[in-house]
Structure 1
Amino acid sequence: MTTTQKVLIVDDEQRFRQGLRTLLNFYNVNASLSIEVVGEAASLEQVLKLTIQHNPNLILLDLELVSSDGISVLIGLKEISYAGKVLVLSAHQEDNWIYRAMQAGAAGYIFKSRLVIQLYEAIDKVIKSEVYFPAEVANGFFRHFQAKSESDFKACQKLHLTEREQEVLYWLAQGASNEEIAKKLYVTVATVKAHLTSIFEKLKVTSRTQAIVTAIKLGIVQA
């Protein structure tokens, strides 16, 4: 028996949402997918409210909303511990948009211009906990990944951050406490504190918050 997938549509254009509903209904009738659209949202607040209310298995997300961007939506979903999947449907084809969306937790990315051709396969893969990356999206992602990796490497070299200090800084940016960082890296809390002292000196900051902000600005870690 096919499990019904509860879907939330997120886009600030009503005509697009209607067209998407029509396409999803077509899949219900003519394909093996069983889909129930549990709601439509056009803002971050609506997305979070409907997600908490309906707990959809899948969210179809546009990256550019009038009141907020899709990256903020992805971050907001993390904050409420959303356990489902997010598939991005976007007009943005720029490498950095693709990279940011995937890094923020998207399970797949489709250009709206390819929606009719790719949506069925994308939904099928994403609900099976696979990542959906059509060739044109994968190329953009890895181009940006390569460029960013090189940029991050140069920034770390310039600051003389050690590999361990980069790991500590990464977990610091994730909001981990000294005790949590120590457990993740299998070191003592005293060692973590020593690394933080060195990191603060190299970044020329005096607090954890300043270290995170500076590292994000330099591209060493991501928000």
Structure 2
Amino acid sequence: MPTPQLVSVLLVEDELQFRRGLQTLLTFYNDDCYLQFQIVGEAISVDQALKLAMEQNPALILLNLGLPEFDGIKVLVGLRERGYKGKVLVLSAHRKDEWVYRAMQAGAKGYIAKDRVGSQLYDAISTVMNDEIFLAPETATSFFRMFHFYAGRSLQADRGVHLTEREHEVLHWLVQGASNEEISSYLFVTVATVKAHLTAIFNKLSVNSRSQAIIKALKLGLVMT
């Protein structure tokens, strides 16, 4: 029998009951699985998560995307900025295409719906610890739907209107009804940067207002609702 591999784990989850459930699952795996887990910390906020990640340098972070105000994305961005080299596996109650895409784009190595954790967690951990990406079929569909939108459909429709990737993202959230402040939060840029992108978008679409931009973007097929 091969020597078990010890994996240090940081839990980032603000729901106590769910966090306890993760502890129970990891303990259960330790009984007869190749991967053995040692929990080196628990965090319930962005600041705690980043602090513990830098102090403990865990091999794996199990991250709840749905921390208050979707701060799980901020954790991913903060880890990337600080040069964290371990793996992050997102656990989320949110299945919308945008959240799966944003989490993976921000650096997650895998994404599991919370109601599938019991059946998928060990396989997901094994996959990401083997330097591969874990996406369950239903989650992969969401991710590639958004990938197609940003990298495929938008480029095909862009023959006459040449928007940058970031301008496509701003336009997407504009069509969703997001304010400048919300777009700023979603894309982790300043409000001033959002305004600059909107000015560029308006110029390229030859429009003068948000509503005109939305209508023209939909007519040209630059975004999907």
Task: Render the CA deviation track for 1:76-116: whole Å, top value 9, x for unaligned.
Answer: 00011000000001000111111111111100000011110
Residues in 1 aligned to 2:29 and 2:71: alpha-carbon distance in whole angstroms: 28
CA RMSD of aligned residues (A): 2.8
Pair 211,22 (structure 1): closer, same or farther in 2 beyond 3 Å: closer
Task: Provide the aligned length of Structure 1 versus Structure 2.
Answer: 176
Report the CA distance between 1:66 and its aligned residue. 2.0
Report the CA distance between 1:33 and its aligned residue. 1.3
Pair 155,49 (structure 1): closer, same or farther in 2 beyond 3 Å: farther
Residues in 1 aligned to 2:158 and 2:42: alpha-carbon distance in whole angstroms: 43
Deviates more, 1:152-161 or 1:62-71: 152-161
CA contact (8 A) 2:30 2:36 kept: yes
Task: Render the CA deviation track for 1:8-55: whole Å, top value 9, x for unaligned.
Answer: 011111111111001000001122211100011111100111011100
Report the CA distance between 1:148 and its aligned residue. 2.7
Question: After superposition, where does 1:6-155 map in structure 2 within 5 Å?
Answer: 6-66=8-68, 69-150=71-152, 152-153=154-155
Pair 158,34 (structure 1): closer, same or farther in 2 beyond 3 Å: same
Residues in 1 aligned to 2:193 and 2:142: alpha-carbon distance in whole angstroms: 32
Letter in 2 for 1:65: L
Counterpart pick for 2:197 among 205, 210, 214: 214
Pair 37,145 (structure 1): closer, same or farther in 2 beyond 3 Å: same
CA contact (8 A) 1:27 1:33 kept: yes
Unaligned runs of 5+ in 1: 171-208
Letter in 1 for 2:112: I
Q: Identity rate of aligned residues, in percent?
A: 47
Unaligned runs of 5+ in 2: 168-191, 202-221
Show the counterpart of 2:184.
none
Report the CA distance between 1:159 and its aligned residue. 4.1
Report the CA distance between 1:156 and its aligned residue. 4.9
Pair 33,110 (structure 1): closer, same or farther in 2 beyond 3 Å: same
Report the CA distance between 1:70 and its aligned residue. 1.0
